[in-house]
Chains A and B, each alone.
Chain A
Amino acid sequence: MTTVAVKPATMAQALTRAMRDAMAADPTVHVMGEDVGALGGVFRVTDGLAKEFGEDRCTDTPLAEAGILGTAVGMAMYGLRPVVEMQFDAFAYPAFEQLISHVSRMRNRTRGRMPLPITVRVPYGGGIGGVEHHSDSSEAYYMATPGLHVVTPATVADAYGLLRQAIASDDPVVLLEPKRLYWSKDSWNPEHPTDVEPIGRAVVRRPGRSATLVTYGPSVPVCLEAAEAAQAEGWDLEVVDLRSLVPFDDETVCAAVRRTGRAVVVHESTGFGGPGGEIAARITERCFHHLEAPVLRVAGFDIPYPPPMLERHHLPGVDRILDAVARLQWEAEG
């Protein structure tokens, strides 16, 4: 390993840099969406791209999500690599028809003759005090659609690396950007910016022996915080950052759970029908004999995303995670 020349950067800056580097390296990469040009996007993630590459490469589109993704399909058919920005999680829903009926299926429909290398960037999740329609966690909808890759970074390095990988992928990739982490900084090595694991691999962010927290995106820092707090109670918690929901890294997750024998899945999305149910089922199917307790889920409540003044009650926080960890001292009844 090289010595790491680390530089603090925000996740938003790393995402911008990923697009800039991809556009510079490959003239077929086009960024498009609402307000992505002069404004640089409402989160400034496309800042400067229109200026540097021109409006043909970074395009302010009309305000229509199905139209944005639908025209991106045609552009990809003609050999371009569109990177589409959806302004907010809940405003991507008009584009679901295109996503589900065409983007995810065109390769399959045409027996591999017409792959669609489209990246769909979706700022998602809560915790920023957004009003209704600005805080949804829509990952389960994407996960339920075969043909899509679904990835979500929790670190600055992953934000850069996963976006570069998404753009380079010949398959459509939905990149869920935890908007709560846009302004978070951590160390990032700009000398080796793509030095991260590939799409499809999970990473153990914190090794531990007592139990495994399985999580992703905005909940990763919360779980790390919970792991620190748990030390006081004598719990040595492991934190696995999934990074990629589709494909799913059964291997890393199961290896971790087999080591600790206990698992809690943590995410903001609703629990019922949410990603945690799938993850818990996979763990149970594969690690049943290693489990000392049922796989638990700490998720958002099964309610429409709450108004901002109440969202702290909804979002899984350290205490709720620690409560679940306490419940892992499970003893069969009777």
Chain B
Amino acid sequence: MTVMEQRGAYRPSPPPAWQPRMDPAPLLPDAEPHRVLGTEAAAKTDPELLRRLYAQLVRGRRYNAQATALTKQGRLAVYPSSTGQEACEVAAALALEERDWLFPSYRDTLAVVARGVDPVDALTLLRGDWHSGYDPYAHRVAPLSTPLATQLPHAVGLAHAARLKGDDVVALAMVGDGGTSEGDFHEALNFAAVWQAPVVFLVQNNGFAISVPLAKQTAAPSLAHKAVGYGMPGRLVDGNDAPAMHEVLSDAVQRARAGGGPTLVEAVTYRIDAHTNADDATRYRSDAEIEAWRAHDPIALLERELTARGLLDEAAIEAARQDAETMAADLRERMNQDPELNPMDLFDHVYAENTAQLREQRALLRAELEAEQEQHGEHGEQKGGTR
């Protein structure tokens, strides 16, 4: 009998070293995105938290509208709106303690502002006067990251360092669905799981990476499923359900703080506006799709729940709107002032101490500026007479 003929009878033993690392079942996400609004769990949620979430959502939406308006006035070079995704943004900030760190992507200005950063400072990158307008240590918010997913390993390293130092600090890092295809996403999740670092990864699956839909981005059953391959739990949550987002992220933060390691959270949401003000979304998606998602609006969902339970009346809604208007007016006014720019700043933060080469170049620019000023001075006087 040949070996082939023995097939079926032949039972090789498993390779000597092989044993499963762990049971994957507990790591798997639920079949449906986790929801709170419209379920019995909603009644058990702290009314104070619900009101806070609501106020922040209304503010966030107004901020998006104001920032988009500022692009039309040329005050911002570009703005990636998070309209429709406010629940993810707000929950990401509110799930953290003061000592924790937030690692945002370029779309996450709302989370940055909800964390306490000045609304104007959060827009510096997009206005174009400096790459980052706030002190990362003041609110424990990393600079907005433009290259996709590259901030995720930073979050892992920071959380790991904090744990080495004995601090119970958690890092929450945000990334889009497209960003999950980047190598840095993979490497960050892998490092986090191997090191059991106290990190929470929040993927905002808003359907598109610029124009590319999720189906062309990944073949995974869901983005939350990816967690299993790294050995961390994956959670799927309705990203437009603010209390659900807050609950899932808070659980993950607590788990991380208690030494339980990282969690991957996929928020199922939708980007109502185009990718940025410069994008034409009609080329890749239909009005019907957008309308379906408008019917699942995060603010409307929460408002309905709060109103039904008598936690919110017209006056309270009006108060939230007023607060948002005040914020927007202040933002508009301050953004409509030209930022004070000092070109000499260009050389001030390349190295701790300037190199000889930079000192030379700095002197060159200073001389150019002085010449310019002199010229303007003379020019101004001459022109002054004729004007």
Contact = CB atoms under 8 A, between A and B. Distances in A.
Contacts of A113: 135-137
Interface in B185-204: 187-188, 190-191, 194
Interface string B137-172: 100001100010010111111111110110000010
Contact of B161 (A64, A66, A74): A74
Contacts, number: 137
Contact of B131 (A70, A82, A109): A109
28 contacts: A62-B191, A67-B190, A67-B191, A70-B157, A70-B184, A70-B187, A70-B188, A71-B154, A71-B157, A71-B160, A71-B188, A75-B161, A77-B142, A82-B157, A98-B153, A102-B147, A102-B150, A106-B143, A107-B350, A108-B131, A108-B350, A109-B143, A110-B135, A113-B136, A170-B352, A171-B352, A249-B356, A251-B356
Given A111-B345, A114-B136, 11 more contacts: A30-B164, A62-B191, A62-B194, A67-B191, A74-B159, A77-B136, A77-B154, A78-B165, A107-B351, A108-B350, A114-B137
B286 interface: no
B39 to A, nearest CB: 37
Interface of A: 30, 56, 61-62, 64, 66-67, 69-80, 82, 94, 97-98, 101-102, 105-115, 146-147, 149, 169-171, 200, 246-251
Q: What interface size band does chain B fall in? A: 35 or more
Given A77-B157, A108-B131, A71 B191 contact: yes
Interface of B: 130-132, 135-137, 142-143, 147, 150, 152-162, 164-165, 171, 183-184, 187-188, 190-191, 194, 345, 348-352, 355-357
B143 A71 contact: no
Which secondary structure dominates chain B's binding surface?
helix
Contact of B158 (A74, A106, A109, A170): A74
Nearest to B152: A70
Contacts of A251: 356
Nearest to A32: B157
A108 B350 CA distance: 5
B160 A74 contact: yes
A82 B157 CA distance: 10
Contacts of B348: 111-112
A98 B345 CA distance: 24
